[in-house]
Amino acid sequence: MTGQHGMIGKLKGRIDSVGADWVMVDVGGVCYFVSCSSNTLRALPPVGEFAEVHTEMLVSQDNIRLVGFATLLERDWFRLLQTVQGVGTRVALGILSTLSPNEVGNAIALQDKAMISRANGVGKKLAERIVLELKDKAPAFAAADVGLGQVASELSSPRSSATTDAVSALVNLGYGQSQAALAVSAAIKKNGDDLAAEKLIRAALKELALG
């Protein structure tokens, strides 16, 4: 139970100290304890440096806590993941510590349960529930004009790691995740599902150029 959302949405201050899964941010002499994913901790500057941390203030009956994020996209995924039954603060941070926000999006676009279940505390059943329940809710796919289920079924092949790598590469080049998934899907249809990731990326880029 995450409780209600509170009012603190961002902290601007100096990094006071850092732990395995938290950071203390000194804002004008007041130090805020903020729980963070591993990815966010890696993205933050060292102790003593100035930082901006996007936050989610979780207010429950007997507790108030801050969770921090390096990007707004990670915060959006944190909120979205917790809409799935069985995903609380700890599990959501575990997923975002294991996978980047883009990787979470790719896993859901490709219905890749194995990728989600790499996170601590996520078993096969919960991973399946996450990819199924979020496939139509993910903000990055809001503009997609094709069902993600169709894309996922076209990409379900033994070469799933190559398809995931290809989609990730296209996203890193600046393409939207649904756009990248559709291009990879089209490339597989034309060239078969046994292409190595590098060739699949080139074929998908051709599809994007044609589109």
pLDDT of residue 147: 42
pLDDT band at 138 (very low <50, low <70, confident <90, very high): low
Cα–Cα dist 158/3, whole Å: 41
> Which residues are 132's β-sheet partners?
none
pTM over 0.85: no
Residue from 177, 202, 179 nearest 190 by CA = 202
What is the secondary structure of 139-180 as a DSSP string? GGGTT-SS-HHHHHHHH-STTHHHHHHHHHHHHHTT--HHHH
28-32, 53-57, 188-192: least confident range: 188-192
Percent of the chain having pLDDT more than 70?
Answer: 85
- Provide the terminal-to-terminal Cα distance of the chain, rounded to the nearest Å: 45
In CATH, what number does 74-142 get? 1.10.150.20
146 pLDDT more than 60 = no
pLDDT band at 31 (very low <50, low <70, confident <90, very high): very high
Which amino acid is located at 190 in the chain? K
CATH class for domain 4-70?
A: mainly beta
Residue boundaries of the structural domains of the chain: 4-70, 74-142, 143-211
Averaged confidence pLDDT in the chain: 80
198 pLDDT more than 90 = no
pLDDT tens for residues 69-90?
Answer: 988 888 888 988 988 888 888 8
Which amino acid is located at 31 in the chain? C
Residues 6+ apart with CB under 8 A from 122: 91, 94, 95, 116, 130
